[in-house]
Every structure is written in C-alpha cells, then in structure tokens.
C-alpha cells in the first residue's frame, strides 16, 4: 500500500509564493515497512535470545558506539555479562558472533577482545532510517512517553525594576529548552514565570520615586529610570540613614494594602513587564503563567498552620524554624521574628498552589546553583508536611555568569544588558549578510533569527553547571561551534533542496523495490560511502540524544549533537556533489539532505532557535 503526502509538511512562513512550490518534493513511501528505527533496541532484542537470563533492556543499556569504524557500528562489551554467565568475556563475544542468527540490519559480527562488534548492513539501515525520518518529519525524535503527564517548569523569573541582564538569560533559555524537550516527549508542559515583585526593596523604590522621580521620567526611561532611583536611594541613605526607616514604612504600607503604595508598585510592574516582554518576544519565549511572589503572600499562613499541626515548627531566638538535622541540613527558617514570611515559606506555598492547580507529575525549578541548599531544604519541608509529591520537585541548577571573572552587580553598573547583547549580535549578523549575501530578501528578519540564535546557542552549548565568563569577543564569534554555524548548515541543506527544483520525485525504497507507481526509487546502496554513512549514523542517534537531554535536564546534549551533525553533513556537502546528472545518485543524496534538514530543524527548535532557510 502506498501512502503519499507532501513533504516537508511545513511550508516556510517566510518563503515567497514561488519558493513554496519549490518545496513540493513528492515523496513516496512504504508506510508499513517503517517500524521505529532504534538500532540498539533491535539488536538487543535480537541478541537477548542467545543469552540465558539476560533481557533485552539490559543489553540495550550495555550497547555502545565504538570509537572508530574498524570496530564496527555498534558493539557489546561482554565484561559485565561475564560474572552472571560465569564465562570469560571473549568467550561470550565469540559465541555470540558465531551463533547469532541473521538479521536484516546486520552484515556481520566479530568478537574482539571481549567485545562483540556488530557491522551494520548499510543499505537496509539507510533505507529504514531515511524512511522513518521522512515519514515522521517534524516529529522525528519525538516520543509519547510523557503522554498524560504534566510538567511545570519555573524559569526566567527576573526581578521587577531591575534590568534584564545576561545573568537572567541562562534560566530563560535553559527553561525554555527543557519545556520544548519535555513537550516533544509527550508531556503537557506549563511554563511559569515567578517574578520577583515583593520585598523591602520596593519600599526603597517607592520612597525614592516620591522624592526624586516622576511619572513622565519612568514612562520615558522605564527600568533605566527605576534603577537610577534605586541607586540614588542607596547613595542618599548612606548620608541620611533615616531614609531606610522611611523605606521600611513604605513597604509596610504596601503590605497593608495602602492605595498609593500599591498603585506605584503596580506601575513598576507594568513598566518592567513591558520591557521583559520585548526581550521574551525576541527570544521567542512564552509563559503559561506569570505571577509574582506577591501572589503567594496570603497563602503562606496555611503553610505555617500545617507545619504547626504536624509539630514541625520550633521557636528559636524568636524565629520559627523547621529542624533538618536528620537530613544533614541546617534548619529552614519559615518565619522571621517579626512574624513575616521568608522565601522558603513562599516557595512552599507556591508549590502547593501549583500542585492543586496543575496536578503536576514534576515541578522543575531552573535557577543558579547558589540556591542549591535553599531548594533542598524546602523540598524536604514539603515532604515532612506529608506531601508525598515532595520528591517530584526538581531543582535544575546552572553556573553563574561573570564579566572577565568579576561578578556582575546591578547596583555597581557592571552588567551587560541582554537588550544590548542581542542588539549587537543582530547588528553584526546584518553586517555579515551585507558582505556575503546582500541581495537576499528579508535580511533584517534573518539577522534577528541568527543573531538571537547565536546568543541562545552559546548559553546552551556547554554543560549548564559550568560557570561562564562573558566576553564580547566570544559572544559575537560566529565561527566554529556556534548557533550560526548550525543554522548556516541548515540553510545550506535548504538551499540545495531548493535548487533541486520543485516536483522532483523522491521515492525511498530498496535497490530492487520497484515502485507501484513506476517512480524511480532512491537507491540506498548509493549512500554506502564512508562520509554518507557517518551522516546516517549521526542521524540515527537523534532520538536517544533527545531522551538523554530530557533525563538529565541538559539541553546542551542537543546543542552538542547539532554541532556533530552539522560537522558530518558539511563534510558530506564538501565531498559529495549532490545535484549530479545521475538521477538515482541525485535522488539518494537528496534524500539524505532532506533527512538532515528535518533532523537539524527539529533539534534547533528544541533548544529554542529559529530555522531560517536562507542566511
């Protein structure tokens, strides 16, 4: 049975009318012959029958990719099996090599030094893989493991009235990537922005605003003006300590619902959100819920009450604490001696509210690692309160950003505002485009996509726990392992596909699989050269990379993967001419290019980058 559809399914938004016709590759597939393509899984199941008491899942976990091609394509180290089977590793490998029944995807298997090295039957492997990628298209690499489950991701969470600087970027882009990855794995995701909109600093701001500020100035300069007022307050307060009391009084009024204080405070929030929204728009980040800490003010009392009931609360030097000695942690202060709540209390209240509202299976907090202890403490408090879902709270910490090794401090003014960084990145991209591709349409839009992509990608390209030392030179470098490099490679693939012309029929089949419609079939065996094979193996790894990224809450796994894929594709692009006269070879290579284009586009979107088709 033949199934036909147009691919790629998505007609690019930016493409002009005539462009979209070029995208109409007519792809003919045999749908019934595309089981999910997972080499490790298939091999594990195949091997499981040969070994007593070892199931396929264990085997799949043991399988690995050998460091070089002479050692095969997938291999099974038999050392761990030797204990259970009471045989020498090389014996096990040899027996497996000899006795293994034939499998369509396996060319041969060799025993080497305790490893069973499996060489793939590349024609079959390539055919199946390409079929799967072209069939699943923008869902290639996705999964349904999360179906019916909900994940709440708390990320970004900037402070009101403070500039959004590059330190806030990490939480935003990591959280956004995790949200997309979990969604891709079938989870229902709720993105939450937990604004820092409460605390004594708002008393200071109100005080400063009334003394030296004006509505016009704030309207005009936004957060810049609020920052100026905040800094001025601190300067003045050094000379006149009475200002601190005034600020405390204003915060007290704000807490009591004083009309004037509340109105000014709301104004600060509006101003700030307006600026944040501009940044979020640029970054392509959206939230399902934006609430400040203030929202949970009236919900902390219930937390305290429950702690009392459970006899967890203890008075100490006037403050109320929960002892955590049994868990090797210092006590968590839940109430100050003046009776007001702290962030432990508010975070706990927020978690309970979210559990009631979203009934999450997991709630993830993306913050820098300075808050490690804080989260461990209140997670434990939630558990002690009797909420068994306390163990489903996850802190995802990341490293800190500094400037040339010096810590950023808003009040000292040594911060890089994200706005400035993005603007410079976009500007530089535009310059490069003017120099290399001046006749391109929609230059501004592409510059935005690539400039912003460069910034996001560089934040996601290394392990999130690593500290980052910011330098302009590095931030604006677009060569090598960067976002622009991956996007450029993607655009290259798009360009070849475009040049191939519309209406070309790409039929994916085996060498002998004559198509019922009489279409020329893509001959997978023409992709058996080393360079093409490397690309195919790389493509096959995408699904497990996405899974790993999810399990480890580590978007950089996807970023690194995209670099690897781009590298192997660029080698292919360089070594193998695609638009050749030989129709069969041309179709085969185009099928590879289309597979790369799909996979790269999926990966880029997962980490929050856009996928321009021309750069």
Partner RNA sequence: GUCCUAGUAGCUCAGUUGGAUAGAGCAACAGCCUUCUAAGCUGUGGGUCGGGGGUUCGAAUCCCUCCUGGGACGCCA
Block residue for tokens 């493509």: 539
* Min separation Cβ 315 and RNA, Å: 8
Q: Which is nearer to RNA, 189 or 265 (CB)?
A: 265
Contact status, residue 26 vs residue 4, Cβ threshold 8 Å: yes
d(CA 79, CA 318) in angstroms, rounded, equals 60
Question: Which of helix, strand or coil describes residue 350?
Answer: helix
Is 165 among the catalytic positions? yes
Q: Which is nearer to RNA, 280 or 478 (CB)?
A: 478
d(CA 128, CA 338) in angstroms, rounded, equals 68
Contacts of 219-224 with C-beta under 8 Å, sequence gap 24+, read 219/271, 222/271, 222/272, 222/274, 222/275, 223/161, 223/162, 223/163, 223/164, 223/271, 223/272, 223/275, 224/163
* Min separation Cβ 214 and RNA, Å: 27
Count CB atoms within 10 A of the CB of residue 579: 12
Is 168 among the catalytic positions? yes
Q: Which is nearer to RNA, 422 or 494 (CB)?
A: 494
Q: Which is nearer to RNA, 13 or 479 (CB)?
A: 479
* Min separation Cβ 518 and RNA, Å: 26
* Min separation Cβ 89 and RNA, Å: 7
Is 395 among the catalytic positions? no
User: What letter would DSSP give residue 392?
Assistant: G
Residue tagged active-site, from 31, 40, 80, 162: 162
Q: Which is nearer to RNA, 15 or 189 (CB)?
A: 15
Residue tagged active-site, from 40, 46, 165, 395: 165
Residues linked to residue 320 through DSSP beta bridges, in sequence order: 315, 335
* Min separation Cβ 291 and RNA, Å: 13
Q: Which is nearer to RNA, 29 or 497 (CB)?
A: 497
* Min separation Cβ 494 and RNA, Å: 6
Block residue for tokens 């497990």: 544
Residue tagged active-site, from 168, 194, 204, 344: 168
DSSP result, 38-83: -HHHHHHHHHHTTSTT--HHHHHHH-B--SSGGG-SEEEE-HHHHH
Block residue for tokens 């882009």: 173
Task: Output b/e per residue, 416-429; b: 16+ Cβ within 10 A.
Answer: bbbbebbebbbebb
Q: Which residues are catalytic?
A: 162, 165, 168
């Amino acid at each position: 049975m033949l199934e036909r559809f147009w691919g790629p399914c998505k007609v690019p938004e930016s493409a002009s009318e005539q462009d979209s016709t070029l995208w109409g590759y007519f792809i003919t597939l045999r749908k019934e012959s595309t089981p999910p393509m997972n080499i490790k899984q298939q091999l594990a199941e195949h091997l499981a029958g040969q070994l007593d008491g070892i199931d396929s899942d264990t085997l799949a976990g043991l399988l690995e990719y050998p460091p070089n091609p002479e050692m095969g394509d997938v291999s099974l180290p038999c050392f761990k099996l030797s204990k259970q089977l009471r045989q020498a590793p090389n014996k096990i490998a040899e027996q497996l090599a000899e006795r293994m029944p034939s499998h369509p995807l396996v060319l041969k298997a060799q025993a080497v030094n305790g490893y069973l090295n499996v060489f793939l039957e590349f024609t079959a492997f390539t055919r199946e893989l390409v079929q799967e990628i072209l069939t699943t298209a923008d869902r290639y690499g996705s999964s349904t493991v999360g179906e019916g489950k909900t994940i709440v991701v708390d990320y970004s969470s900037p402070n009101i009235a403070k500039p959004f600087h590059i330190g806030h970027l990490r939480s935003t882009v990591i959280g956004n990537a995790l949200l997309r990855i979990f969604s891709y794995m079938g989870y229902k995701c709720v993105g939450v922005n937990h604004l820092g909109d409460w605390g004594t600093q708002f008393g200071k701001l109100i005080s400063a605003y009334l003394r030296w500020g004006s509505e016009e100035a704030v309207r005009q300069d936004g957060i810049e003006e609020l920052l100026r007022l905040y800094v001025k307050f601190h300067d003045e307060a050094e000379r006149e300590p009475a200002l601190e009391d005034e600020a405390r009084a204003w915060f007290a009024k704000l807490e009591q619902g004083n009309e004037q204080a509340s109105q000014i405070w709301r104004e600060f929030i509006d101003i700030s959100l307006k600026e944040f929204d501009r940044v979020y728009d640029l970054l392509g980040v959206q939230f399902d819920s934006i609430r400040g800490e203030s929202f949970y003010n009236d919900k902390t009392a219930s937390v305290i009450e429950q702690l009392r009931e459970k006899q967890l609360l203890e008075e100490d030097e006037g403050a109320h604490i929960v002892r955590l000695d049994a868990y090797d942690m210092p006590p968590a202060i839940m109430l100050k001696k003046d009776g007001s709540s702290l962030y432990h209390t508010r975070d706990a209240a927020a978690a309970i509210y979210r559990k009631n509202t979203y009934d999450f299976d997991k709630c993830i907090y993306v913050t820098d690692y300075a808050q490690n202890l804080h989260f461990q403490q209140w997670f434990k408090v939630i558990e002690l309160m009797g909420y068994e879902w306390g163990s489903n709270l996850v802190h995802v910490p990341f490293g800190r950003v500094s400037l040339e090794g010096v810590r950023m401090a808003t009040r000292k003014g040594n911060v890089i505002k994200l706005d400035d960084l993005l603007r410079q990145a976009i500007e530089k991209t535009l310059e490069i485009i003017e120099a290399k591709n001046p006749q391109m349409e929609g230059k501004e839009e592409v510059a935005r996509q690539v400039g912003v992509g460069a910034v996001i990608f560089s934040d996601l390209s290394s392990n999130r726990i690593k500290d980052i030392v910011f330098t302009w030179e590095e931030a604006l470098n677009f060569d090598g392992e960067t976002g622009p490099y991956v996007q450029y490679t993607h655009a290259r693939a798009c360009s070849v596909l475009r040049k191939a012309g519309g209406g070309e029929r790409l039929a994916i089949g085996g060498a002998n699989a004559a198509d019922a419609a009489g279409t020329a079939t893509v001959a997978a065996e023409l992709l058996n050269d080393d360079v093409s094979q490397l690309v195919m193996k790389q493509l096959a790894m995408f699904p497990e990379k996405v899974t790993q990224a999810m399990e480890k809450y580590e978007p950089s796994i996807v970023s690194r993967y995209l670099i690897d894929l781009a590298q192997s594709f660029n080698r292919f692009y360089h070594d193998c001419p695609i638009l050749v006269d030989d129709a069969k070879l041309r179709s085969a290579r185009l099928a590879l290019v289309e597979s790369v284009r799909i996979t790269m586009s999926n990966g880029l979107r997962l980490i929050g980058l856009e996928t321009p088709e021309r750069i």
